[in-house]
Structure 1
């Protein structure tokens, strides 16, 4: 992985197959295709987009985000192709939550894990954050396998009344400590949700 920029808000990154860059004007159609796909968005915390105008508004939010001094909102693009096929996000503060999605035609080929790994390695090199977390719906184990490929460790599970979809979901929390503190576990979800437990995976 090569760091292609010194800007700390979503610096461009490159892997063998991918370019990770900021979203930009012209990405509306690609963003709409990704965010309107019902299968892609089954386990994500929003309803699939219905109208292209929604993608335009979402893109506007990304462009505003890039005015902040720090943060990560990546468009994932295949080398030689300008249009994004996925995204990688990182929460702006604790619990430094890593989120990602990729178009269905690229499921199962390790591409989203490759994109996430580039972000993880950048953060490790920069010392930008002390740790990362990621959560996945228990019914979506493929997302958990991405977390495992990144070296993240399962910590605990909790049940949340998921909004805006309005039904209970059991999430599994994974964590990767980047500062050498192997004893750190983010407890926020455990403390916030009365139904919490550890599973034998």
Structure 2
């Protein structure tokens, strides 16, 4: 169940099979996908597989938050925003480059954060590469707070990344911190941001 959400400028809805071309435009751009845990996609065939694994399969779950970000003008996907239902409740997003720096990711993110809060998720987390501070700005705009940084040999790209972990608690106490990444990665620390 992925309820459609409307904001001032956006429609957040499920990706559909006829959005494959739009999804490919988002996922083929090297710069857009530089900080994401996959390589930019090469063709429509790869995109169909990505859609099946990361969207269609999720929509079969009782609760799923995997949205296409569309402008109200044309309802055409220009990005995505999601919150995973696994234990980390990871919040993430991506946006085509020509739509950067307009506050779209923050507008979409805030709306999804409101939805998962209303639906009773206890908390959400999000991580970003330290070399991508703009992503942290979106997390902050959505009400998330920095907790800690950890270094991970990142797959499938196989290089070392310092990730900043952000969190927002809904039903958990405000001081509760999701510790799993801290515990899994021995090289961890708290930065003065």
Q: What TM-score, normalized by structure 1, do the two folds share?
A: 0.93
Mapped pair 1:113 → 2:90: no
Pairs within 5 Å for 1:1-201: 9-61=1-53, 62-127=55-120, 129-179=121-171, 181-201=173-193
CA distance in 2, matches of 1:156, 1:47: 26
Unaligned stretches of 5+ in structure 1? 1-8
Matches of 2:134 and 2:165, distance apart in 1: 14
Say whether the 8 Å CA contact 1:15–1:118 is kept in structure 2. Answer: yes
**8 Å CA contact 2:151, 2:161 repeated in 1:** yes
Tell me if the contact between 1:36 and 1:49 (Cα under 8 Å) persists in the aligned partners.
yes
Secondary structure in 2 matching 1:37: coil
Contact 1:27 1:59 in 2 (8 A): no
Q: CA deviation at 1:180?
A: 5.5
Tell me by how many angstroms 1:82 deviates: 2.6
Residue deviations 1:123-157, cap 9 Å, x none? Answer: 22222x11110000000000000001111110000
* 1:96/1:133 contact within 8 Å kept: yes
5+ residue gaps, structure 2, are none
Distance 2:157 2:116 in 1: 32
- Post-superposition Cα deviations, 1:175-200, rounded to whole Å, max 9, x if no partner, equal 00112611110000000001000001
TM-score, reference length from structure 2:
0.97
Report the CA distance between 1:113 and its aligned residue. Answer: 0.6
RMSD of aligned residue pairs (Cα, Å): 1.0
Q: Distance in 2 between matches of 1:131 and 1:14?
A: 22
Deviations 1:3-27 (A, max 9, x none): xxxxxx2210000000000000211
**Runs of 4+ in structure 1 displaced over 2 angstroms?**
none
